[in-house]
Chains A and B, each alone.
Chain A
Amino acid sequence: MDPSNVATDIASPTNTPESRANQKPPTATRSLPGIAYTDPVLYEQELAEVFERAWILVGHISELSEPGHYVTANVGREPVLVVRGHDGELRAMSNVCRHRASTILEGTGQTRSVMRCPYHAWTYELDGHLAAAPSGQGFACLDRDQVALPQFRVDVAGGLVFCCIDPDQMSLAEMLGPVGPYLEWLNVSGLQVHRGPEGARWIEDFDENWKILADNYLEDYHVPVAHPTLVRLVDVRETIGDNNDWCEWSRVPYRTRPSRDPREREYQSLIRRMPGMPEEFENAMGHICIWPTTFFEIYPHHIDMWQLEPAGLQRTRATTMTLVHPDEGEQDRRARELMRELNVDIMGQDVDITTRVQRGVQAPSYHSGILNDEQEFSVIRFQTRLRELLPRIAELEATATGERSVASS
């Protein structure tokens, strides 16, 4: 994309209150069948065809500034690491030792000049080649020149580092579409990862299928019902945004008048743009959704990144990273902490909902539901991609019995 066009594209989003009113399809759009959230065959397909083919966020460029700096993540079933080499190059590779399959590095940090497996101390160069293995004379045939950690694709967009283990997948820029320039515009690369008491990543596990959590994050139809705080803080009818088939951004203005809730009112009084944040965020917050399960909450004073990872058929791991300005002031810190408190409440409300949904999708009487073409637009887009990638869904839809709660629809 021509950088000179970025401002124009961002200033003229395709998703506006006016355009949303004219985008309704002629027939009802149905959600995925309930059995798609409990089917073990589909779950295996999802790991292979969704997560192991996607560009997965692994970290922020500020975490990889020096040789030996590394981040780790899971790309589907593949543990990966990204490390800055002695030559300055970023490399992504398998985080699985070629000997007995232990993961080599955990979390984020800085390794020494090599990477050592904690199990039997097989030791790898930062470019992934095996440097040495203890008791090397005991192996009948170990050609260390032939042993290396498999290399994967790594790319950076707006300061965010992504890894893809599928050599045939589209480029990161193509997948991000309008979100790539948007990340640049937000100055994400100029921020740094906040390290709280829990470290650089905050991890929570949920007892629901990953798609239930993703579906919930992707739509704002439930927001007025479940989240009164958000009704008072933002004016969702003024939401604007842009998207391609895979990714989207949106922005929504804060209300300018004070909430009657003391905590919300204090938060409102603290809202202020951090340096480098575009003036459009003077009194607005935003969201970014990156295929398949990376979600950003963009506040004027900081950015939260929330990533879902399947950890079982009915188990999902959520990893949160917070980006702050390197010179975050006291007011921004207080605004961030207050928003975290509000978000803990909001997350609790979402957990209550998604727990109910996990029970409900298993009901024999439930097949699928009708989606709202405006306010569940992103769920429709998301589930359309899943149907394209996962032939098992069509099999499940063909075999699922019709719903019994609605006589005809």
Chain B
Amino acid sequence: MSPHPDAWLFLPPEVEALVPSLLARLAAAGGGSPDDVERDLRYRIETLILEGDADQWRTFLREATEMVAEYGGDDAEARTVLASILDDQFLLARAVVDLERTDLDAREQLARAGATPPRSSRV
């Protein structure tokens, strides 16, 4: 039986609560404005919640994973926590979508960035 089209909406709340500020910390290392990054991310996540679907959510997760993977700064805590949160998203998403090769690649990137089981994801 196919999941309800809204079924993926159990995924975003933790990301909405924690990811924008953490990604903003990574952006600061690259000279970006943390406030601008956080505001833009919040807007994008809320747009996905209000108008998006599971595939669009997965695209966002891959892009966030790229940011974590490419990060070369010193904020190891933010990188590790982000990697753990995003990896959890891929694990949970399997309940509503089939992971594709690109998702599995993303998980490998997150593992290299320090993704650990949920017990360590507390911030």
Contacts and interface: CB of A to CB of B under 8 A. Distances in A.
Given A21-B123, A24-B122, A232 B13 contact: no
B11 to A, nearest CB: 8
A53 B11 CA distance: 41
A232 B123 contact: no
A237 interface: yes
Nearest to B122: A24
Interface string B96-123: 0000000000000000000000000011
B1 interface: no
Given A21-B123, A24-B122, A237-B17, A257 B50 contact: yes
A346 interface: no
Contacts of B63: none
A17 B4 CA distance: 30
Contacts of B51: 260
A235 B17 CA distance: 9
A21 B13 CA distance: 15
B50 A232 contact: yes
Per DSSP, are chain B's interface residues mostly helix, strand or loop, or mixed? helix
A15 B47 CA distance: 27
A231 B11 CA distance: 10
Nearest to A230: B9
A255 interface: yes
A231 B122 CA distance: 22
Contacts of A255: 46, 49-50
Interface residues of B, number: 17
A232 B46 CA distance: 9
Contacts of B123: 21
Contacts of B9: 224, 228, 231-232
Contacts of A259: 50
Interface string A254-268: 010111100000000
Interface in A242-295: 255, 257-260
B66 interface: no
Interface residues of A, number: 17
Contacts of B10: 224-225, 231
A179 B9 CA distance: 32
B50 A236 contact: no
Interface in B3-17: 4, 6-7, 9-13, 16-17
Contacts of B7: 228
Given A24-B122, A237-B17, A228 B50 contact: no
Contacts of B49: 231-232, 255
A236 B16 CA distance: 10
A228 B6 CA distance: 6
A212 to B, nearest CB: 20
A235 B46 CA distance: 9
Interface of B: 4, 6-7, 9-13, 16-17, 46-47, 49-51, 122-123
The 4 nearest A-B residue pairs measured at CB: A228-B6, A237-B17, A225-B10, A228-B9
Interface of A: 17, 21, 24, 223-225, 228, 231-232, 235-237, 255, 257-260
Given A17-B17, A255-B46, A260-B51, 13 more contacts: A223-B13, A224-B10, A224-B12, A225-B10, A228-B4, A228-B7, A235-B46, A237-B13, A237-B17, A255-B49, A257-B46, A257-B50, A258-B50
7 contacts: A223-B13, A224-B9, A224-B10, A224-B11, A228-B6, A232-B50, A255-B50
